[in-house]
Amino acid sequence: MTRTTLTTLTTLTTRTPTKQAIIQLENKLAEIMQYIRMSNLGDDLQNYVQQKAFPKITNNLNIMWTEKWLGQYAWNNNNSESINHVLKLAVEWKPQRVTDLIAHLRDVVRAQYADLKRALYGQGEFHMTPHFQSHVIANCRWGCMSEKRQEEAFSAFMRDTGVRKKTNTVLSSDSRLTVQGNSRIARKPGQRTRATACRSQPKACQ
């Protein structure tokens, strides 16, 4: 039941934020809580799920529904199956206790954070997407930064939601010059209207 519920949660990310999808999300979260209570997994796990996991799941779904720019970076069933395979490799395909599963999940998340940090200075298996290129730091500069400065740069990257304000700017073809866009037609000082565009003219011109 738990795997089916989690799979359903991942499929919700590809849908629009309709009333039916929101109701379905609430029902699935309620099923998970019911499963935890009936399995007597403890108050600590129940509090963690309610205070930490559920808000993040809901927030991530809202982002997937509203931020259309995510596109190919969206989370889907293929991603969930992929991480499921990673966890199976971590436990060597053997049944494990819940506490062991939590420890493996923590190790996987820590490894993912390490990959994100390496992407900041152009190392590792990942690279920054166009929306986050402003956070890229040269590898030689990263090595000269103190640990505190590195953590500040990484925290700034993690706080960035990727949402950008629309600006009326024009970028040159070589990406070296950015100028302010203007919807008005440029005219030279003293320039007269073209004759072909005139529907009338002063009587003195006749």
- pLDDT at residue 14 greater than cutoff 50: no
Write the CA distances from 139 to 53, 150, 179, 196, integer angstroms: 34, 12, 30, 59
Write the CA distances from 112 to 83, 115, 136, 180, integer angstroms: 11, 5, 17, 39
Contact 16, 65 (CB under 8 A): yes
Give residue 17's pLDDT: 55
Average pLDDT, stretch 160-166? 76
Give residue 13's pLDDT: 47
Give residue 142's pLDDT: 92
Give residue 145's pLDDT: 92
Structure confidence at residue 9 as a pLDDT band (50, 70, 90): low
Which has the higher per-residue pLDDT, 75 or 109? 109
The pLDDT mean for the chain works out to 76
Q: pLDDT by residue (tens digit) across 77-91?
A: 666 777 788 888 888
SS3 53: helix
Domain ranges of the chain: 1-69, 76-161
